[in-house]
Amino acid sequence: MTVSRRAWVEREFTLGLPAWMFPNVIERLRGTPARVEDMTRGLAREVLARRDGERWSMQEHVGHLYDLGWLDLARVEDFEAGREVLTAADMTNRKTREADHNSRDFARLLARFRAERADFVRRLEAFDDEMVARTSLHPRIRQPMRPADFAYFVAEHDDHHLASISELIRKFAS
């Protein structure tokens, strides 16, 4: 595939997903760890940890999704508390840069991501109709979000990294 993708921070979003879509988007979120596992099954450790120049390896992409679990949960808490603005992300990705995910066991990293994501999904599934109607401002894109929009945003971020993993698989594992 030769289509150029945009950097995540350059993405623009049209929000306003209907509340009835919330469960559908939650299913996307629930499925991300399984999708990663399917994509990477059987790949050698050196392929999983191979970087493309300065770009992250497959393992670092998965580590990054795991690293952001705290932010996802913090934003759930923001909605629960009725905060006007969601917790801001560290746009330098310091946690991922310093984590040295390539030296870790991939199966253990994926298991940790799966467990953390399951907790996040459980928290979202506990939202009632009142909670699903709440809004809070996303600090980077400067748009109000409801939980369905937030879940969509996270799912799109997952897919952004899954697409990067797919590119690396085509480049290094074919």
Please check whether residue 4 lies inside any domain of the structure: no
Please check whether residue 47 lies inside any domain of the structure: yes
Please check whether residue 7 lies inside any domain of the structure: no
Distance of CA 65 to the CA centre of its chain: 5
DSSP code of 102? G
Distance CA 27, CA 117 (A): 11
pLDDT score recorded for residue 3: 56
Q: What is the CATH number of the domain that holds 83?
A: 1.20.120.450
Q: pTM here?
A: 0.94
User: What is the domain count for the chain?
Assistant: 1
pLDDT score recorded for residue 101: 97
Please check whether residue 25 lies inside any domain of the structure: yes
Token digits of residue 83? 């905060």
Please check whether residue 37 lies inside any domain of the structure: yes
Domain that holds residue 97: 18-172
Please check whether residue 13 lies inside any domain of the structure: no
Say if residues 117 and 69 touch (Cβ distance below 8 Å). Answer: yes
pLDDT score recorded for residue 125: 98
Strand ranges inside the chain, DSSP E: 136-138, 143-145
Length in residues, the chain:
174
* 47: helix, strand or coil: helix
pLDDT tens series, the chain, 174 aa: 555 667 776 778 889 999 999 999 999 999 999 999 999 999 999 999 999 999 999 999 999 999 999 999 999 999 999 999 999 999 999 999 999 999 999 999 999 999 999 999 999 999 999 999 999 999 999 999 999 999 999 999 999 999 999 999 999 987
Nearest of 57, 17, 37 to residue 146 by alpha carbon: 17
Distance CA 41, CA 106 (A): 11
Distance CA 174, CA 172 (A): 6
Please check whether residue 86 lies inside any domain of the structure: yes
Nearest of 158, 4, 30, 131 to residue 75 by alpha carbon: 131
Distance CA 121, CA 115 (A): 10
